[in-house]
Structure 1
């Protein structure tokens, strides 16, 4: 375990403060939310003359601040909440500069921000915005027992300590997101397997309600179908309702939130059902509700409903999950309506949709902008759900992780294995600086969790932006190609270890390559070099080198696009396999 901080009082000398910062960095590293909130409270209060701390963390999707700690007390759930610009924490997040307030004005005072405490009891407030890599993460709010402004050197020390806390909060959120994503993908795989082997619709719908509860909490839930002839909405599986009030959950299309969704085909989140005129009271305890349509193609056949006893319980990401499970519920119901041939076609279409949705979640939205390099990447889908993957991992301000990988096989299993690979890679990158150690741990996880015939090939490296150096490990993947402008020649970044998931105790070696001005590094999957023309001739490494060389004066994005166009012209149409390429050009 990390060495505990032993300073009995505030750190006062420059040497003591430096030691405190080093120890704080160690103790805050790699903690989960609750542990991190408690440790941050203890450290900041111990290091200062302040008596109370609140830690507000920004949700990047909704631009809303949630407390991890409120007035020294850990907070469970997602309430209260502040919008950016609201209260002293919201104001600090918006202005992005520390501030000290001897007392609060009426305009600054939000009762929920202080656990209901009166404004007259609040004094000596310091706000410290938390940022990492230019992105806002949240705000620390400290209060004193008096209104005296602390010495500037004390404020400077607290700002340095808040930088360490920002790093820890960022790591904690990344780990939580990766873990949540891994659990979600596992549940989707489990559900897809259940649907593929069972025709018992009732049992499947009950299992869907069980699985949804693992990722989105509810107090009542129901899956409903529309009777096309009568336009009544009939329950298929429900939880949490009074069995003596079955009539309360039987509605006509267009009536109630469920009927509105069935009629319009639009999903909805209602933070307060008592304020929504569409709501029909089927449970006295319900305060918020979320409904997604059940679709078969373009036709709405029903609705999937979740209710909570807490107001404002659901977020947009919860609705995305519900819609995914709703599509699975629709598949389960449709299986009982269609003949075997049509049924199998629809199941494959839903499988493809889920696999593509999973695959899209782990491809980067944009290429990184960094000094000294022009970087571009792309994945061109063959129309099937493949196992290709590329990504960029921000490690530090001066270091960027780049990965290109490929899973054996296609379909949902390949997409989910790649999702597991991505989640474990990101988590281990945050825990280990040694690339070979990262790959050893990822390999062990895959060896324990994937089938014998499944494996992953990958090349992952860390680009030192200032030193222009790429340190990498190649686990049985296609050799990276490094074009040298000075000699008009290519070097090969060959394999430095076995395929991932094939050997329990596999080891990997690290290698380095310098990337000077005009040099071009190309990382790719075998869909490029193994593309065939009409006479069964492979595109091959030499043609790929020719494309890169002929476009050496162009941007990385133009090089990537040129490879796609050349491969397409060579193969005479859409490729049989996904094409993935990342180009890194020294500038």
Structure 2
């Protein structure tokens, strides 16, 4: 400010040409500035001016600053008050003593050299180079105080100056302290003649710290810009829109690329809240336009937090449903507080949700209809269950299967679902009344026929009136083929009005047609298996002997599968010899026809070995070795084999991993368990089996059963168990085997709620 001859307040905020300067100084400064701009070179000048501090002399250095395109974008003006320096130089001509005194008092590092050798240095100069006194400097070559990396350039300057050439008078170079430390120093050089000899005066300033600060500032500025560029790049990569808004005003400070794309372009920083409302209006789900105070940016600008706000944003590219979040970002690291608004276009998500909801509804309906169909295992009942479920689900007026016999020219409807008081279409119909529909089927074999309104559908102009009269104005018709022959169609119709059927409704009807056809085929297959199974079951059931010596015997058997009345449980009662009866009960792993074949194998082979061996343990051991060695079983068998001798009233039994039998005396005492005497049958060829023997009395009773009874219960955590059966055996009542069996089964049904999950088989015996 002193160098410009003006006060600080008169300079700040003004251009160089607006600063109030003395006329001569202003003209000089302007000329030097223009010359620097014109030449692009550094310019140095000196000028005296009258200042509030008196008449002063100033030295000016004009340095052009270039942009990356090598264009001058500014001029750096450095000024320095050299009044004292000039007075020093003037004083040199007066007296050596006065000269040295003045230089010693100067705070700048000053030295004088002649022919490249120091002849004088003040205290500040000695201190700069870590010398104890200026005397250490005198006689020292100038280059000795220059860092090795800079000596060549300094030596060139000295030579050029000595030859009278133009040399920069102010520059920065590297100095070398006497302790070996290098540093940056600003050098100001001037020459003068005294007593007919040329001398060089240098004034030095240590700028190491200043340059370090400048370098650090440049690094920090570059790092900040790099960080800002990186952050902006990251924010622009976000898949969600992001706005930074100014607190209070709601003015947009930053908008990332996604936000701009969602807006259809033109969403720029600096956009005011009212401009955003006018250019990009927002609406709630009812279609009401949000007021200025209700805009997300305004709400965040006044400090509100937004969590999952859903709005509709109207942009030039269309309405966009948005999910909005917002909050205030506190002031950090020198950045001002600002509001952040994050929003995501949830249009695709909404569409996907609708598709998923429709798909879920369709799947639910298909599963519901499928369950309804599967609950009707009689194939003849499946069409009726199908049309009732589908017609109700689609809220149609009518749904039915129509069957075709094209060779005989017949069509008929057996099963129909209809709403209200519509007349029934069940019965046989003339094929001719459907000829145009049949032609449509034949033109597009396998494709569903969709009729929105038969009255206006030109494909069916010949039968439109008749179809409308029958209450078949609009509908979906899914043809069913055997090979290339049309055999039936699943039809859903509206009676008296047209209807635009959706793709989901068409897809549902097609899916139900497929499910019902598959279910019908499966039902027919199961019916055939049931018939086979029934015949096989009847063949496998032993013919009960007219009487059992010394015993009253009752039996119970129920298979687990409804679709095939054959399970893996079986029993057999037959005479081994006079007075000795075999009581057999077993459980073959598996169900259905495969289990029936295993039952036949085990039962017939067991009869054979019992006929051959009087000892049941030996008979079972022989049977086990045969089925394992020759791989006659595809699983295993639990087996109870009892031999009752009526003469001695003894029961000898072998139990192959089977449920414990139950034995109770005629006195009604505690029930005795008959535990297993060996492992399950069919696993180990070398397994050993033993027999147990009990002597019975008249009125004693024993019960053998399969796990379908002991593991019965309302759920898997509440099973009946052998203890539960034993309690039922202890119940008082009719002592006959039949009555005993009935009491036990009544108890089981009461415990389970009336249903059994597994095969169940039981033999009840009372000693006569």
TM above 0.5, one fold? no
Structure 1 length as normaliser, TM-score? 0.41
Q: Which has the higher contact order (CA 8 A, sep 6+)?
A: 1
Structure possessing the higher radius of gyration over alpha carbons: 2
TM-score, L = length of structure 2:
0.31
